[in-house]
Amino acid sequence: MAAAHAEAHHGPPIANQSSRVSASVLGMLLFIASEIMLFGSFFTAYFFVRVVNGIDWPPHPFELPVFVAGVNTAILVTSSFTMHWALQSIKRGNRAGLQAGLLLTFLMGLVFLLTQAREYSRVGFAPHDGAFGTIFYCLTGLHGAHVFVGLSILLFMTIRAFRGHFSPEHHHGVEIGGIYWHFVDVMWIVVYSTVYLI
Amino acid sequence: MTTLTHEHEAHPGRQGPAPPPRGWRRLLYPGLLRAAWMAPLFFGIGCGIVVLCRWWGGWQPIWFGEIIVLVGALIAGPIGFLAGIGAFDYWVRYAIGSPTKPEDHSGHGAYSWRDYFRVNTDHKVIGIQYLTTTIFFFLAGGLLAMLVRAELAKPGMQFFDNQTYNGLFSVHASLMIFLFVIPAFAGLANFVVPLMLGAPDMAFPRLNALSYWLLPIAGIMMLSSFLVPGGAFAAGWTGYAPLSIHQPLGTIFFNMGVQWAGASSIMTALNFLVTIITMRAPGMTFWRMPLLVWANFTTSLLVVIATPFIAGSQFFVMFDRVMHTHFFDVAGGGYPLGYQHIFWFYSHPAVYIMMLPGFGIASEVISAMSRKPIFGYRLMALSLMAILVLGFSVWAHHMFVSGMAPWLRVPMMITTLMIAVPTGIKVFSWLATIWEGKLNFATPMLWAVGFVSMFVIGGLSGIYLGAVPIDIHVSDTYFVVAHIHYVLFGGSLFTIFAGIYYWFPKMTGRQYNEKLGKLHFWLTFVGFNLTFFPMHLIGTQGMPRRVSDYAPQFANWNLFISIASFALGASTIVFLYNMVTSMRRGAPAEANPWRSLTLEWQVSSPPPIFNFDEIPQVVGNPYEYGVPGARHAVLNGDRAATETEVRSR
């Protein structure tokens, strides 16, 4: 007991790890579950407008830039691979690979977001142009907001990578930010196929 | 056998944060002072962004009040406040790659009352912050209810006009639901769950602190809607669109208040889930967890999955209002009924979010106070999971008269009635636990037993309402008001009181006044029944809810209800007096006044700053009362008290 007394004031006891999954990864996965439900509520609104009300998609004078958005999709999907490359690099201790991977991912995400903004200004309708415009802008806008958050996380990871943080043993920051970025990409594929393609 | 307390942990000289610097540097030190200038600064930045965007996009007018209020006051300002009190300090340093302060646990624990007014990462401090904040909003919401009853004491218009009256009951309901019942359970669980699991803290202490500080923001936002032009939001706590879209400015205070409160509860729920999954003490399998932990596990799953839907529904209302989108506008191709579907897809599970933690508290109290193992432990836990799953399949029973697709009615009725099965399993298990027990009718037990009896009444009227024909008859009458108060007041609030009295000795290290506690229970119990039971009668006779004036035939009952409700409101004074005086001057509490077996009672009252010297070893089930030699856990190499020893004390 004497030893316990001596250590008592230095901090908490080490918590028992009762699961193989790490706390931060599990936290991120649960957060993503919650995010999926947020997208779910927007898709429910989409369902009501497009399926229940059965409006034309897109309604007559408007057209969706399917090709440009398709190229944009390809950019975003590619950025998922560079993200993965960055994580694999730091796992093997390759710092240059980590930095290049994060930087490329960030730039591709930025290009995606700027293209999206450009598309908004040229697409020819506004959020208040009927339920079609509403759903289009709110679904792509919600996703855009997530890209923005993902880009911020990527920016922070990149800064840390260039300031010498992360190592083969400690790369949780990259892993968790990476999970979020993959989620943003997968979500875009769902948004793209429901809003643009079908 | 009080060797389990850790006196040496008490106060080895002042730890805690370093004293704040003097002079102007104090303005940069995280705390309320920094928040006082950062909140206005962020408000200004928010306004600047709005004006810049509108100028760049060529929208007129550039200075548009509604969006300024929304972005500046309801989004940017609160973020500035959070940054000011220091909720983001660590993360900002981490994000830009600066060396983060090595964790010296200075943000942990409370050494003076000031430590409750800063960002504190100690789950016990956060639990108490939660409880005091929610009780404040409980009082505010209660006073609004008193105003509602004052207006309804006589037919005709007394004190308020219609819009103000609508605002009163809307804010009453929103405060009680989003700022009292849901976070009060989160506060109790925050204090108790890590202790019960044998964990030193929650999994993400900084996130925990942040999720607390979102709450006062949400509450003040909802209350302050009374001050804006047009008055408070007045479309009810359900805020049905398209009505809510065309209400005065106060509505966006509700829309955003719900977002802040919702974000807070999602973060807390995520934290609970991760804590419960990854931080259980060795030997604490899922089937050895106390039922309170089970209850918070299922509740947290509900919160994480369902809450985004109310976020979505409030976003849609706000967009329809400020961006003139067409989510719920028929002329533009929108679907008005969509609001109710999306809203109730959250808000029906929310009913269980507001009830399941109470089930957990009742299980703890009833088992310990009956000195018997909880009856049907596994089925108790499984029925929580059954409620969780079924809870997502019943939302449209709130919409039987809304004009939704008629084929949806019967399936929703069947699933609704099915939920009575797991709930019934729980009620009968509590009864079987009490059956032939050695009952100790201390205050927490009174509340728990009061809860079971009142919840049965509320549950049965819920079955009535779940049946389509009866629902069509009593929809939007006082029968519904009676039902919701029997489940949320007689159900949730009674268990919150049970929990507060039960863990009061653990939280404060002092014992509450038992006589006043019992007086509080009986005043509330009688006042509650006199207030809400007659509402069943006038409801079936057809008195509509949410009206400030009514037919003279209901005058007598309404006067009776109003008088009873004032008595009910007054009973809260006994509670407050008891809490305040006992906290300051109550008799020192033992470590384990209820002779419970769960882990939080095996440490001192109040618990040591890091809960345990060493992580305990769990060796048995938590409810083996009356089983000779049974024990739940072993602490510090010492033996935890066995049931035989506990009884011989």
| Calpha distance B565→B177 (Å, rounded) | 19
Domain count, chain A: 1
**B57 near A CB under 8 A:** no
Q: Are the beta carbons of A23 and B311 separated by less than 8 Å?
A: no
Chain A residues in contact with B615 (beta carbon < 8 A): 13-16
CA-wise closest residue to B183 among B227, B136, B151: B136
In a domain, A62, yes or no: yes
Measuring CA to CA, which residue among A137, A151, A155 is closest to residue A191? A137
Interval A30-35 mean pLDDT: 95
Mutate to test the interface with B, among A1, A25, A37 (most CBs of B within 10 A): A37
Cβ–Cβ under 8 Å, residues B158 and B148: no
CA distances from B226 to B102, B175, B446 (A): 45, 13, 37
Name A145's Cβ contacts closer than 8 Å, sequence gap at least 6.
Answer: none
Chain A residue at shortest CA distance from B92 = A156
Give residue B62's pLDDT. 82
Contacts from A188-191 at CB under 8 Å and sequence distance 24+? A188/A73, A188/A76, A188/A143, A188/A147, A189/A73, A189/A77, A190/A39, A191/A39, A191/A139, A191/A140, A191/A143
List CB contacts (< 8 A) between A134 and chain B. Answer: 319, 325-327, 332, 334
Using a CB–CB cutoff of 8 Å, tell me whether B277 touches chain A: yes
B224 part of contact set with chain A, CB < 8 Å:
no
Q: What's the confidence (pLDDT) of residue B11?
A: 42
Spatial distance between the Cα atoms of B87 and B237, rounded to a whole number of angstroms: 29
Q: Write out residues 83-142 of B within 8 Å (CB-CB) of A.
A: 94-97, 103, 105
CB contact under 8 A, A16 and B610: no
Identify whether residues B432 and B564 lie together within a single domain: yes
Determine the residue among A17, A30, A172 to mutate to test chain B binding: the one whose Cβ has the most chain B Cβ atoms within 10 Å. Answer: A30
Cβ distance A44 to B312 less than 8 Å, yes or no, reads: yes
**Domain co-membership, B210 together with B257:** yes
A16 inside domain: no
User: Distance from A73 to chain B by nearest Cα, in Å?
Assistant: 25
What are the chain A neighbours of B245 within 8 Å (beta carbons)? none
**Do the domain assignments include residue B338?**
no
In a domain? residue B287 = no
Say if residue B306 is in the same domain as residue B427. Answer: no
The answer to whether A130 contacts B326, with C-beta atoms less than 8 Å apart, is yes
- Tell me whether residues A18 and B282 touch, CB distance under 8 A: yes
Are B487 and B537 contained in the same domain?
Answer: yes
Cα-only R_g, chain B: 25
By the CB < 8 Å criterion, does B154 face chain A? no
Q: How far is A190 from chain B (nearest CA, A)?
A: 18
> What is the rounded CA–CA span in Å between residue B190 and residue B201?
9
Is A9 part of a structural domain of the chain? no
Flag whether B563 is in a domain: yes
H-helix segments, A92-126: 95-122
| A124 occurs within a structural domain | yes
Same domain, B82 and B143: no
Task: Tell me: ipTM over 0.85.
Answer: yes
Test B636 with A23 for CB contact under 8 angstroms.
Answer: no
Q: Which residues of B touch A18 (CB under 8 A)?
A: 277-282, 284
State which of B567, B587, B607 marks the end of a domain. B587
B312–A41 CB contact, under 8 Å: yes
In this structure, are residues A44 and B341 in contact, taking their beta carbons and an 8 Å threshold?
yes
d(CA B156, CA B152): 8
> Within an 8 Å CB–CB cutoff, is residue B312 touching chain A?
yes
Q: Which residues in chain B have their CB less than 8 angstroms from residue A3's CB? A: none
> A32 to each of A36, A37, A147, B507, B615, how far by Cα in Å?
6, 9, 14, 34, 31
The phi and psi torsions of B617 (rounded to 5 degrees) equal -105, 120
Query: Which DSSP symbol is given to B336?
Result: T
Contact across the interface for B278 and A35, Cβ inside 8 Å: no
Q: Do B610 and A18 touch (CB under 8 A)?
A: no
Looking at the 3D structure of chain B, how many domains does it have? 4
**What integer pLDDT is reported at residue B641 of this predicted model?**
54
Specify the length of chain A in residues.
198
Rama region for A166: left / alpha / beta (φ>0; ψ in -120 to 50; rest): left
Nearest CA in chain A to B322: A128
Residue found under tokens 């004032």: B566
Partner A, chain B 608-627, Cβ-Cβ below 8 Å = 610-615
Q: Any idea how long chain B is?
A: 649
Phi, psi of B513 (to 5 degrees): -80, 115
pLDDT of residue B177: 95
Please state the rounded mean pLDDT for residues A124-152.
93
For residue B43, the surrounding DSSP H or E stretch is helix B32-57
Query: Are residues B381 and B521 located together in one domain of the fold?
Result: yes
Q: Do A45 and B327 touch (CB under 8 A)?
A: yes
Same domain, yes or no: B80 and B213? no
What residues of A are in contact with residue B268 (Cβ under 8 Å)?
A: none
For B342, the closest of A41, A131, A138 (CB atoms) is A41
Same domain assignment for residues B479 and B545: yes
Does B234 share its domain with B169?
yes
CATH number of the domain bearing residue B399 = 1.20.210.10
Side-chain-side CA neighbours of B437 within 13 Å: the count stands at 24
Residue of A nearest to B312 (CA): A41
Mean pLDDT of A87-91: 93
What's the burial of A193, exposed, middle or buried (CB within 10 Å: 0-12/13-18/19+)? Answer: exposed
Strands, E assignment, A112-181: none
Residues B497, B558 within the same domain? yes
Test B278 with A44 for CB contact under 8 angstroms.
Answer: no
Residue A84 falls inside a structural domain: yes
Cβ-defined contact of B9 to A37 (cutoff 8 Å): no
In this structure, are B201 and B309 located in the same domain?
yes
Give A70→chain B minimum CA distance, Å.
Answer: 26
Q: Which of B49, B69, B102 is the last residue of a domain?
A: B102
Could you give the CA distance from residue B260 to residue B213 in angstroms, rounded to a whole number? 10
Give residue B59's pLDDT: 81
Dihedrals phi, psi of B628, to nearest 5 degrees:
-60, 135
Contacts of the segment A14-20: beta carbons below 8 A, 24+ positions apart? A14/B615, A15/B199, A15/B200, A15/B201, A15/B279, A15/B615, A16/B198, A16/B199, A16/B279, A16/B280, A16/B281, A16/B282, A16/B615, A17/B278, A17/B279, A18/B277, A18/B278, A18/B279, A18/B280, A18/B281, A18/B282, A18/B284, A19/B277, A19/B278
Contacts of B313 in chain A (CB under 8 A): 41
Angle made by CA atoms B101, B107, B112, in degrees to the nearest 5: 145
Query: Do residue A14 and residue B306 have CB atoms under 8 angstroms apart?
Result: no
Q: Which of B309, B316, B615 is the closest to A16 by Cβ?
A: B615
Would residue A70 count as lying in a domain? yes
Task: Write out chain A residues lying below 8 Å of B106, CB-based.
Answer: none
Q: Is residue B273 less than 8 Å (CB to CB) from chain A?
A: yes
Write out the residue range of the structural domain in which residue A68 sits: 22-197
d(CA B426, CA B374): 10
Residue A54 covered by a domain: yes
Could you tell me if B364 lies within 8 Å of chain A, comparing CB atoms? no
Residues B531 and B633 in one domain: no
Does residue B341 belong to any structural domain of this protein?
no
Identify which of B204, B304, B332 has the shortest CB distance to residue A130.
Answer: B332
Task: Show which of residues 339-358 on chain B sit within 8 Å of chain A, judged by CB atoms.
Answer: 341-342, 345
Tell me whether strands B633-634 and B617-618 are parallel, antiparallel or unpaired: antiparallel
Minimal CA separation from A37 to chain B, in Å:
6
B184, B131 Cβ separation under 8 angstroms:
yes
pLDDT bracket for residue A3 (50, 70, 90): very low
Per the CB < 8 Å rule, is B326 touching A160? no
Specify the CATH number for the domain of residue A51.
1.20.120.80
- Inside any domain, residue B108: no
Domain span at residue B205 reads: 127-280+295-327
Task: Identify whether B460 is part of a domain.
Answer: yes
Q: Which residues of chain B have pLDDT under 50?
A: 1-14, 649
Q: B199 with A15: CB under 8 angstroms? A: yes
Using H for helix, E for strand and C for coil, what is the string for B501-569? Answer: HHHHHHHHCECCCHHHHHHHHHHHHHHHHHHHHHHHHHHHCCCECCCCCCCHHHHHHHHHHHHHHHHHH
Q: Is residue A74 part of a domain?
A: yes
User: Taking CA atoms, what residue in A is nearest to B331?
Assistant: A130
Please report residues of B whose CB lies closer than 8 A to that of A21: 277-278
| Residue B61 resides in a domain | yes
Tokens of A30: 């649960």
Confirm if B278 and A25 have CB atoms less than 8 A apart: no
Torsion from C-alpha of B395, B313, B300, A148, nearest 10 degrees: 150
Q: What pTM was estimated for this model as a whole?
A: 0.92
Its sign, for the CA torsion B299, B304, B305, B311, is positive
